[in-house]
Amino acid sequence: MTDRGRDIPAPPARWKRLVGEDGIQKWVFYIPVVFFILFFAAPMALTVVWSVFERTQFWMEPGFTLFAYENFFTSARAENYVLSMLHAAAAVVISFVIGFPIAVFIRRRVTRAAQHRVILLFILPFMISELVRVFAMRPVLGRNGVVNSVLMELGILSEPITVILYSPLGVIIGDVMSFLPFMIFAGFLALEAVQNYIFEVCDDLGTGRVRLFADIVLPLAAPGIFAGSVFIFVNSMGVALVPTLLGGPGAVNAGLIANQAIVALDFPLAMAISTIMIFTLVLLLYIGHRLFDLTKILEPIS
């Protein structure tokens, strides 16, 4: 290195001071920090700040008022918000019940070479516009939809069931359909890190299916399940499209409440709702941490 350095003219002094001997490498480390501040911390801080600004006719002006929060908590919005959390939680639970066994199946029963191809299949739906994907649920779940006609043809139903569309249940079904792959990916990735030896040791010890799942698979996949759950929860609360298309009159989630505020040009209210969402999530993470010790769950498993 020193040999080659001799032929290269020395860089100008000022450039040298800024970059230093190993300066480039040093600065590269800060790029993620800059990213974090620019695209993550700053917008969040602005959201909080703007939520206490005064509302004007078309925008807002600096000031301090808790009017937006008062508006939120004294209207039906607060109640809808809580309902939205419950629906999101239901979507998480259903996604786990359906998605995690799929992840386990792919890891344990599909040959190694085919595993990633199978996982890729679950990405395919994401190639379709979310709008189209969610909209396509309507002819499936509707009064004369696929589900009802099949069940009636089979004689299982005499009347079409109507609670599965334009209802809270419809929203939950839509959320599960939209976000289920996240549980499959996250669960599979966590399980992929588990050595095959581990399963062979279980065969050797005679761990039955139930114990294998409860004692080995579930704890080892916990970080993945947790990541998938957070993702599904946040999306179920925040993606306005699903209740708009599948929820029917009055169905909202947190994202749709914020959307409606923006449409009404009430920006401080939209910001307040977003702020409440941020704090809700932080609070849930904190509770999760106290209950399960997340650092332990997320600790690198070596």
Partner 1 sequence: MTEPAAKAVEVVELGKNYGPVTALKSVSFSIESGRYYALLGPSGGGKTTLLRLIGGFLRPSAGRIFLHGHDVSHLPPNRRPTSMVFQNYALFPHMTVERNVAYGLKLLRVPASDIRDRVDRMLAMVGLVGYNRRMPHELSGGQQQRVQLARSLVLERDILLLDEPLASLDAKLRKDMCLELKRIQEKVGITFIHVTHNQEEALTVADRIAIIADGELVEEGSARDVYETPNKRFTAEFIGDNNVLEGTVSDVSATGATLDIGFAKIEVPAPAASISTGERAAFSIRSELLRIAGRDEDIGASWQVVPARYVEDVYLGLTVSHLVQLPDGTEVVARVMSDSGDNGRFEPGDDVAVGWPANRARLHVA
Q: Residue 82 or residue 198: which is nearer to partner 1 going by CB? A: 198
Question: In angstroms, rounded to a whole number, what is the distance separating the alpha carbons of residues 222 and 294?
Answer: 10
Q: Report in angstroms the alpha-carbon separations of 105 from 15, 99, 101.
A: 57, 10, 6
The label of the residue with tokens 């909202």 reads: 252
Q: Can you tell me which of 132, 205, 263, 291 binds partner 1, judged by CB under 8 A? A: 205
Under the criterion CB under 8 A, does residue 294 sit at the interface with partner 1?
no
Site track for partner 1 across 206-245, x = CB under 8 A:
xxx--x---xx--xx-------------------------
Q: Residue 63 or residue 219: which is nearer to partner 1 going by CB? A: 219
Q: Residue 139 or residue 208: which is nearer to partner 1 going by CB? A: 208
Q: Can you tell me which of 9, 58, 203, 295 binds partner 1, judged by CB under 8 A? A: 203
- The distance of closest approach from Cβ of residue 290 to partner 1 in the complex, given in angstroms and rounded to an integer, is 20
CB contact at 8 A, 115 and 244: no
> How many C-beta atoms surround the C-beta of residue 158 within 10 A?
7
Q: Residue 125 or residue 208: which is nearer to partner 1 going by CB? A: 208
Helix (H) or strand (E) run with residue 54 in it: strand 54-55
Helix 254-263 to helix 76-109 angle (10° resolution) is 130
Q: Residue 90 or residue 190: which is nearer to partner 1 going by CB? A: 190
Total residues at interface with partner 1 (CB under 8 A): 19
C-alpha dihedral sign at 238, 240, 241, 244:
positive
Site track for partner 1 across 160-199, x = CB under 8 A:
-----------------------------------x-xx-
Q: Report in angstroms the alpha-carbon separations of 289 from 283, 292, 293, 295, 298.
A: 10, 5, 4, 7, 10
Residues near partner 1 (CB under 8 A) are 195, 197-198, 200-201, 203-208, 211, 215-216, 219-220, 300-302
